[in-house]
Amino acid sequence: MIGIFRVCLIATLFVAFVPTGLLAGSYEIPRLTFAQLVDSIRADSEVTQTIKSYSGKEVAIHGFIIPAGPPDLSFFMLSRVSALGNYCCEVPVGQDETVYVFAEKEVKITYDPLRIFRIVGVFEAGMRADPTIGPSLFRVRNARVEEASGAKIFKVGEMPAAASRP
């Protein structure tokens, strides 16, 4: 009787903890920072192979939403700097400071221009011209958007552990 009880106990513990262990070692979405993106741009508007290696892969990027497209946020830009901060930081100029984001489905967030959001989607690097949005260097497609309260915006030189992996 005690043997059966032990077998049941071990089986229960196995079912409860093994999937958690498997998940812990599973694929983690790498995070890219604006510092990395800026660093990757070459003089001829090309980008480094390191950043290009993320193309087609799912990445996470944190930043401020600039609602440059329609109000359903099917397309918007992600920036290092808030669109509404008139006193803070340098004005973002050029392709390096923004990521063009195409949402997977209707974005259901409480829009706040002063809040940092986390977007996760398929990354694309390299100059491309689009008839509706014009030329872009960094894009994220099929993006999901979520609030990223308290997230850290990494500066040039700083690398989050996940993104600095080769």
Partner 1 sequence: MTILTIALKYLRGRLVASTLTAVSIALGVSLVIASVILARGIKEGFISGATDYNLVVGAKGSPMQLVLNVVFRMDLATPNIEYTIYRDLQQDQRVGVAVPMALGDAYHGFRYVATNGAYFATSPWRRKTFWLAAGRLFPDDPPNAPTYEAVLGAEAAAGTGLRIGDRFYEGEEMADYPLTVVGILRSTGSADDRAIFFSLSSFWGMNEVARKMVVKPLTAVLIRPKRMSDLPSLHREHNVAPETQAVLPSGVLLTIFNMMAVAEDVLTMILAIVGVIVLLYVFVSMYSATLERRREIATMRALGARRATVLAIVLVESCTLAAVGGVGGILGGHVAAYLAASLLATRSGLVTSPFLFGALQPAVLASVILLGTFAGLLPAVLAYRTEVAENLTPLS
Positions touching partner 1 (CB under 8 A) are 66-73, 76-77, 79, 81, 83-84, 86, 91-95, 97-98, 100, 110-111, 113, 131-137
Is 115 or 144 the residue whose CB approaches partner 1 more closely? Answer: 115
Instruction: Give me the least distance between CB of 165 and partner 1, in Å please.
Output: 28
Nearer to partner 1, 1 or 88 (CB): 88
Which residue number, 10 or 84, has a Cβ lying nearer to partner 1?
84
Distance CA 139, CA 56 (A): 10
Q: Which is nearer to partner 1, 55 or 136 (CB)?
A: 136
Helix (H, G, I), strand (E, B) or coil at 24: helix
In the complex, minimum distance from the CB of residue 47 to partner 1, in angstroms, rounded to a whole number: 14
CB of 79 to partner 1, least distance (A): 6
Cα dihedral sign, 128-79-44-29: negative
For 57, the token pair is: 């892969």
Assess contact for 153 and 118: CB atoms under 8 A. Answer: no
- Compute the least distance from the CB of residue 75 to partner 1, in Å: 9
Structure tokens at 62: 């944190």
φ/ψ of residue 99, rounded to 5 = -120, 130
Chain-centre distance for alpha carbon 121:
7
8 Å CB contact between 153 and 62:
yes
Residue closer to partner 1 (CB basis): 83 or 151: 83
Min separation Cβ 93 and partner 1, Å: 5
